[in-house]
Amino acid sequence: MPFIPHTPEDTSEMLATIGAASIEELFDEIPPELRAGDISGLAQSLMRPEPEMAVARLMQERARADGEPLCFLGAGAYEHHIPAAVWQLATRGEFYSAYTPYQAEASQGTLQVLYEFQSMMTALTGLDASNASLYDGASALAEAALMAVRANRKVKDKRVLMPASVHPFYRQTVRSIVRHQGIELVEVPYDPTGGHTTISALEQAAAGKPFAALVIPQPNVFGVLEEVDSLTDWAHQHNALVIGLVNPVALALLSPPGEWGTQSEKSGGADIACGEGQPLGMPLASGGPYLGFLCCTQALVRQLPGRIAGKTLDLDGNPGYTLTLQAREQHIRRSKATSNICTNQGLLVTAATIHLSLLGAEGLERVAAACHANTRALIARLCEIPGIEPVFDRPVFHEQLLRLPRPTEDILKALAAENILAGFNLGRSYPELDGSLLVCATETRTESDIDRFRDALGRALS
């Protein structure tokens, strides 16, 4: 039985209908140098009669070759301990097969998971409402920017202040998504001493013109903690909304976005919070899949994109869960939809919900405290090596940027040869930071891990 249902006659008829001479003509917009051509480049072992077994064997060999490197790499994706129960439960058939809760009466379990996830995220961020996740942290920030411009009716200008201390990959994603919406992203330079965003830099970037929103990363891509209270107050004084881009683990120790700013004033607290949920039970798996979270105040809930699960009571007084307040294309007119990104990462939300349930508030705080303590120990040990010192002088959470006495790429290669992922070279995105290395330590790093890193780095620099 063929896997492709179309016969050659079917294909010819379809091509004739659309006026194409061949299937290749359908892809003529792809430059020839980017086309893969045939599959002659595959190893001969994959062309045997048992290709599936050959592919599995090849993948196993490559996985073994990768080994289990000692990881001090962060920059947006972090190695945390994941209790075995998380994925043992998340991959049960009840959750694994429930792709999307279109049939609410048959998906009460999935809807309850979404509701519990939303409840936990609002507790973490200190805000009133949460959606049921987006693709990843970068797309969640883009949605937050769109949402802020749409919701801020006090300011007609579609300008968003975006600090340079926001992860460069996130900024690229936001720019790609909002550029056709007429939204201007105004980059705000970071302080060269502290690595944070200052009020004077914001004043210069705004240039006396109105803006709809300010993005505040906490911590920022350098690992540095921003002065969120003064930044939030400044933005609100200019009638702008505040978008907090936060690490969910760090929120166990730091002030939640909903409490930023001067709480005695009516305008206190960030208006929107978003971020990457990978630290909540997602393994480092070749870059994904991840999930983005997005929370907001009650005043903005009708502008919140994606799915929102609500809890109610039926006629008999029993609790029930249902999707609600969804301004999505599938439910309203396309032109009125809040977003084209209307899906949610259901399985990953399930894993994150189980992860948070197992840890609890106390467990998550212990994880965050261990991350911070290990990072302090790591920095202290590495700075014992002559020529290594922190680039910025402000407090950090679990990452810090270090200045090296030799080219960063050389150091990364030398430590990779010893099976150590030494960190992230931010000089690739920030030329002025060439010669620096962003290192990270989570709760999974031990004293012996840190000593091994220190000794290997010392040898590489000797």
Q: Choose among 342, 337, 304, 307: nearest CA to 321.
A: 307
Do 314 and 183 share a domain, yes or no?
A: yes
- For residue 45, pLDDT over 80 is answered with no
* CATH number, domain containing residue 141: 3.40.640.10
Tell me the pLDDT tens digit for each residue of 331-354.
Answer: 666 666 777 666 678 899 999 999
Residue 197 φ then ψ, to 5°: -95, 130
Higher pLDDT, 36 or 243: 243
Q: How far is it, in rounded angstroms, from Cα 328 to Cα 305?
A: 7
H or E element that contains 312: strand 309-313
Question: In the structure, what pLDDT confidence band is assigned to residue 64 with cuts at 50, 70 and 90?
Answer: confident
- For residue 264, pLDDT over 90 is answered with no
Do 88 and 99 share a domain, yes or no?
A: yes
- The DSSP-derived string for 40-83 is TTS-GGGGSS-HHHHHHHHHHHHHHHH--PEE---TT-------
pLDDT at 65: 73
Q: Would 17 be classed as within a structural domain?
A: no
Tell me, letter by letter, the H, E, C secondary structure of 281-323.
CCCCCCCCCCCEEEEECHHHHHHCCCCCEEEEECCCCCEEEEE
- For residue 99, pLDDT over 60 is answered with no
Average pLDDT on 107-115 reads 89
For the whole model, what pTM was predicted? Answer: 0.85
Last residue in a domain, options 330, 354, 378: 354
Do 304 and 409 share a domain, yes or no?
A: no
Tell me the pLDDT tens digit for each residue of 394-426.
Answer: 999 999 999 999 999 999 999 999 999 999 999
Q: Would 10 be classed as within a structural domain?
A: no
pLDDT at 145: 96
Do 159 and 249 share a domain, yes or no?
A: yes
Q: Would 42 be classed as within a structural domain?
A: no
Do 287 and 369 share a domain, yes or no?
A: no
Do 371 and 341 share a domain, yes or no?
A: no
* CATH number, domain containing residue 390: 3.90.1150.10
Q: Which residues contact 411 (CB under 8 A, 6 or more apart)?
A: 404, 422, 437, 457, 460, 461
- The residue written with tokens 């980017």 in the block is 34
Q: How far is it, in rounded angstroms, from Cα 143 to Cα 134?
A: 9
Please give the DSSP secondary-structure letter assigned to residue 321: E
Do 313 and 330 share a domain, yes or no?
A: yes
Distances in whole angstroms, Cα of residue 17 to Cα of each of 11, 97, 252: 10, 38, 60
Q: Would 39 be classed as within a structural domain?
A: no
- For residue 430, pLDDT over 80 is answered with yes
Q: Would 159 be classed as within a structural domain?
A: yes
Pick from 28-37, 106-115, 132-141, 396-405: least confident: 28-37
Question: In the structure, what pLDDT confidence band is assigned to residue 365 with cuts at 50, 70 and 90?
Answer: very high
- For residue 223, pLDDT over 90 is answered with yes
Q: ω before 289 within 30° of 0 (cis)?
A: yes
Last residue in a domain, options 305, 330, 354: 354
Do 172 and 245 share a domain, yes or no?
A: yes
Q: Would 7 be classed as within a structural domain?
A: no
Q: How far is it, in rounded angstroms, from Cα 367 to Cα 6?
A: 54
Handedness of CA 292, 295, 296, 298 (dihedral sign): positive
Q: Would 254 be classed as within a structural domain?
A: yes
Q: Are 408 and 433 in contact (CB under 8 A)?
A: no
Do 175 and 319 share a domain, yes or no?
A: yes
Last residue in a domain, options 354, 374, 400: 354
Q: Choose among 308, 336, 153, 175: nearest CA to 240.
A: 153
pLDDT at 52: 73
Q: How far is it, in rounded angstroms, from Cα 288 to Cα 415?
A: 24
Do 75 and 179 share a domain, yes or no?
A: no
Do 339 and 393 share a domain, yes or no?
A: no
- For residue 1, pLDDT over 80 is answered with no
Question: In the structure, what pLDDT confidence band is assigned to residue 324 with cuts at 50, 70 and 90?
Answer: confident
Q: Would 28 be classed as within a structural domain?
A: no
Domain count, the chain: 2
Domain that holds residue 144: 84-354
Average pLDDT on 203-219 reads 95
